[in-house]
Chain A
Amino acid sequence: MGRIMLENVTKRFGDVEVIPPLDLDINDGEFVVFVGPSGCGKSTLLRLIAGLEDTSGGRILIDGKDATDLAPAKRGLAMVFQSYALYPHMSVRKNIAFPMRMAGIPQDEQNRRIEAAAKALNLTAYLDRRPGQLSGGQRQRVAIGRAIVREPSAFLFDEPLSNLDAALRVGMRLEISELHNRLKTTMVYVTHDQVEAMTMADKIVVLQAGRIEQVGSPMELYKAPKNLFVAGFIGSPKMNLLTGAVAAQHGAATIGVRPEHIHVSPTGGAWKGRVGVSEHLGSDTFFYVEDTGLAETITVRAGGDLELYHGDTVWLTPDPARIHRFDDQGLRIA
């Protein structure tokens, strides 16, 4: 079981309020991702749940029990840190055994769980090595192994993939998702990478300056961003946000159109512009269109076969059904 509820949780460092009163409900077995730009308080929020920081107000309930003042070890949560935080002088086996040793679990039970974790994480061959002799991905798996053997009610991940190179990151992303499917344990995952958030999450929590901007499934956030911040943050490349006359035509202060919802044509369309930079990826091509008179650049996605290059004139046509409208407060107009 791993149901985590935050009620009016607040965090202040001195006079600075990092997290204004905040409510959040994390259901058992859910994969929840906290995402936001750096400094938005997502790591602080995770550390509050872990108990590594004290709350300045409010309550944290884990499985219905008040855990606000409980020591980190007593909350039944396991955490995987950004730097892995392995113990460098201990072998992989001892690293994984450490939490069980602290809990006084009998030796043969320890060994059983270590073998099981090592097998699940492909670490069997490395059990007697030191962390210093492992690659980044292997260290990450050891850190996960150390979390698994405790059989926690929820896992907390603090930007676990940010120290890995791009290829490994994709691989570990899959492994963590598979782990979640297999264990069905609650996972809370912090990242600044919206791609990780979109691909892994059951539920995304978008944070900005300690406030929750929107909570929802990845597709909800993509299809109906509640405000300009979420609209700009979720989706890659970013949504084009246009103001002025073109927005007024649609009865809004700002309109947003995603790059993939704009039709590109070399012959004719609604908005005329000139191709600035074009990125040909093979499967897709991204054009950064200038001189439209609507915004500095408009990003559009086209199929990989469209042969347009720097300086070429293009016409853009937005899909009218997929234009997002926002009022002058930056809130979505339904």
Chain B
Amino acid sequence: MSTKASRTAARLMISPAVLLLLGWMIVPLAMTLYFSFLRYNLLMPGMESWAGFENYRYFFTDPAFWPAMRNTLVLVGGVLMITTIGGILVALLLDQPFWGQNIVRLLVLAPFFVMPTVSALVWKNMFMNPVNGIFAYLARVLGLQPYDFLTQAPLASIIGIVSWQWLPFASLILLTALQSLNSEQMEAAEMDGAGPLSRFWFITLPHLARAITVVILIQTIFLLSIFAEILVTTNGGPGTASTNLTFLVYMQSLLQFDVGLGSAGGVVAIILANIVAIFLMRMIGKNLDA
């Protein structure tokens, strides 16, 4: 049913939803852009004045800016690396037939259902705490000095926590991709003399390429805006050691009440996200073509 009339009707029917979504997106974006050019501090309400690129200049010259930029990229890259490689390994394990398969699959998925704030708190207080944490206890059992994860390796610790949350997602998507692999293909490769490693490299991995791309793209979107885990565990510190761009925007607009500076940071974050997206699509987007 693709007559001219039906297509016009379809456009008419869709347009309210499209317009609503557009407004929903455009209005906040326009306001953010507008605020980013204002001298607008909540401590001095009603005193807004045009600031030009002042806010951007302050944001870029903020001593926390470049560390935040680097931390954002390290955080995203680190978590992506751990979850895709780990996800492939977990998916390969879960794809093996074993007793209690369904329950194990459910358990593996569980971390994804835990709220980020809760899981970060659990990690902070029950695992990584240098006095009460399990890791500290294990270290003492072995006669070692307990390691204060969140102070001595704050960014790495957060990468660990976030990876733990996202590993199930990657594993699940990759598992479903693995299950769609034609078993005759694997058998053909076996007959062709390919060992287990060759089969993984030449058959399984290319088959997973599309799923890996999806995992990387979706995770990147969410990882660029990691916030709760940082707020709950390190508050961006010590110093700026675990401040990412999102957290920096939060500090400036809500801790320093500087809406203008925060908005400028928000715009910078949008631009960074787009740059990352362009690079990702260039690198792996071709996998999505059928």
Contacts and interface: CB of A to CB of B under 8 A. Distances in A.
B194 A79 contact: no
A83 interface: yes
A82 B184 contact: yes
Given A81-B184, A85-B185, A52 B202 contact: no
For this complex, into which size category does the number of interface residues on chain B fall?
Answer: 10 to 19
B193 A102 contact: yes
A112 to B, nearest CB: 19
B33 interface: no
A73 B194 CA distance: 8
B206 interface: yes
A21 interface: no
Given A87-B202, A89-B207, A81 B187 contact: yes
Contacts of A51: 191
Nearest to B190: A72
Contacts of B193: 73, 99, 102-103
Given A98-B202, A102-B198, A87 B185 contact: yes
B182 interface: yes
A184 interface: no
Contact of A85 (B188, B198, B207): B188
Interface string B165-198: 0000000000000000010110111111110001
Interface in A72-94: 72-73, 77-79, 81-83, 85-90
Contacts of A88: 207
Contacts of B194: 73, 98, 102
Contacts of A77: 191
22 contacts: A52-B187, A52-B191, A73-B190, A73-B191, A73-B192, A73-B193, A79-B191, A82-B184, A83-B184, A85-B184, A85-B185, A86-B185, A86-B188, A87-B202, A87-B203, A87-B206, A89-B207, A90-B206, A98-B202, A99-B192, A102-B198, A150-B192
The 4 closest A-B pairs by CB, nearest first: A73-B193, A99-B192, A85-B188, A85-B184
Interface of A: 50-52, 71-73, 77-79, 81-83, 85-90, 98-99, 102-103, 146, 150
